[in-house]
């Protein structure tokens, strides 16, 4: 196994050749693994890059899988013994088209990173370099180093410094999208796919994608931890049931939401739509205690984010149902 500033790349497609070029430019020892001699003969990479076999590329402590997704399962299974204990970067995408839009071809809400981790349980799987169009990968890194961002996700949080250095050395700014389970924002159908975003834009998009888990903190009275200091929370219909329309500041909002939570109100089925770099529309079901029992009402909120926190909420619910 080759260690240090070295990386093996399995696959000679545009993403494989592009990453080989960027890391070679940064002084890395790079091995680009080709499926066959015919494939190896058609690569265009710097002279310092060693072009070998898939197995040659897999004998590094950092390995990128960049083959077509329909071949990924066979390749990963074949290389699994060589990839034990290895940091494996998954750049691949299982893409299908639904209603005219790119979407993940995986089922059951499984992310691409989770899917690969299931094939490589002995490896440290990282989702990265999946949301940038192949043809832009090298040109944007060369023209605007440090401007554009690459999102990554992993369950191995102690490996984040190493992962971020690998990404930074290609000329991109690393942005964590969380765990593999949280990484659908980087997959086909996710709001970051296929997009080129600045660091600030991608961080905003990742925060918008996390809004369901952030807002679920209401049920445990820990939502104050994800509120911006200057947060504003507006209940346009609040006065019709004796609630103030607007609360401003983390303390005031936290105190109000704590009173609501203590009264027995809960929220469930939280999901986002229209995720942007500034926030999202959030749908949820509110469960409200009444003298005749618990009733449910849909809740629709427009939520703005800032600095990784919730900064503005406009919340709407059916006051006639919960009176």
288: number of Cβ within 10 Å: 19
Instruction: Give the 3-state secondary structure of 23-89.
Output: HHHCCCEEEEEECCHHHHCCCCCCCCCEEEEHHHHHCECEEEECCCHHHHHHHHHHHHHHHCCCEEE
User: At 322, is the pLDDT very low, low, confident or very high (cuts 50, 70, 90)?
Assistant: low
> Residue 313 above 80 pLDDT?
yes
Helices 69-79 and 112-119: crossing angle in degrees, nearest 10, is 30
End-to-end CA distance of the chain: 67
pLDDT more than 90, % of the chain: 90
pLDDT in tens, 163-199: 999 999 999 999 999 999 999 999 999 999 999 999 9
In angstroms, the CA 18 to CA 37 distance is 19
pLDDT value, residue 99: 87
For tokens 């494989």, name the residue. Answer: 16
> Residue 1 above 60 pLDDT?
no
Residue 286: both structure tokens together: 């509110």
In angstroms, the CA 149 to CA 196 distance is 7
pLDDT value, residue 62: 97
Averaged pLDDT for residues 150-155: 98
pLDDT in tens, 208-231: 999 999 999 999 999 999 999 999
Task: Residue 22: name the closest of 176, 136, 131, 160 by CA.
Answer: 136
pLDDT value, residue 290: 85
In angstroms, the CA 138 to CA 26 distance is 12
Mean pLDDT of the chain: 95
> Residue 3 above 60 pLDDT?
no
For tokens 């494996």, name the residue. Answer: 88
Q: Buried b / exposed e across 24-60, counting CB within 10 Å, b at 16+?
A: bbbebbbbbbbeeeeeeeeeebeeebbbbbbebbbbb
pLDDT more than 70, % of the chain: 98
């Amino acid at each position: 196994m080759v260690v240090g500033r070295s990386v093996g790349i399995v696959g000679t497609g545009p993403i494989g050749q592009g990453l080989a070029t960027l890391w070679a430019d940064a002084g890395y020892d790079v091995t680009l693994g080709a499926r066959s001699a015919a494939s190896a003969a058609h690569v265009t990479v710097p002279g310092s890059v060693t072009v070998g076999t898939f197995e040659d590329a897999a004998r590094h402590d950092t390995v990128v899988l960049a083959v077509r997704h329909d071949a990924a399962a066979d390749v990963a299974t074949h290389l699994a013994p060589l990839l034990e204990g290895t940091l494996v970067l998954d750049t691949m995408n299982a893409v299908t088209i639904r209603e005219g839009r790119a979407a993940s071809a995986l089922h059951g809400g499984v992310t691409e990173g989770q899917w690969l981790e299931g094939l490589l349980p002995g490896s440290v799987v990282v989702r990265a370099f999946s949301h940038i169009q192949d043809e832009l990968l090298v040109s944007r890194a060369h023209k605007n180093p440090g401007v554009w961002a690459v999102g990554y996700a992993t369950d191995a949080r102690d490996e984040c410094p190493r992962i971020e250095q690998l990404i930074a050395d290609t000329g991109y700014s690393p942005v964590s999208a969380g765990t593999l389970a949280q990484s659908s924002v980087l997959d086909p159908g996710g709001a970051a796919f296929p997009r080129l975003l600045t660091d600030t834009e991608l961080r905003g998009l990742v925060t918008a994608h996390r809004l369901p888990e952030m807002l679920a903190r209401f049920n445990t009275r820990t939502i104050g931890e994800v509120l911006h200091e200057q947060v504003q929370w507006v209940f346009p219909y609040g006065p019709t049931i004796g609630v103030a329309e607007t609360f401003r500041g983390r303390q005031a909002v936290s105190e109000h939401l704590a009173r609501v939570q203590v009264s027995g109100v809960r929220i469930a089925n939280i999901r986002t739509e229209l995720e942007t770099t500034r926030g999202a529309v959030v749908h949820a079901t509110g469960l409200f205690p009444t003298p005749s029992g618990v009733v449910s009402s849909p809740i629709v909120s427009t939520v703005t984010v800032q600095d990784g926190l919730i900064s503005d909420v406009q919340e709407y619910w059916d006051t006639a149902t919960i009176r």
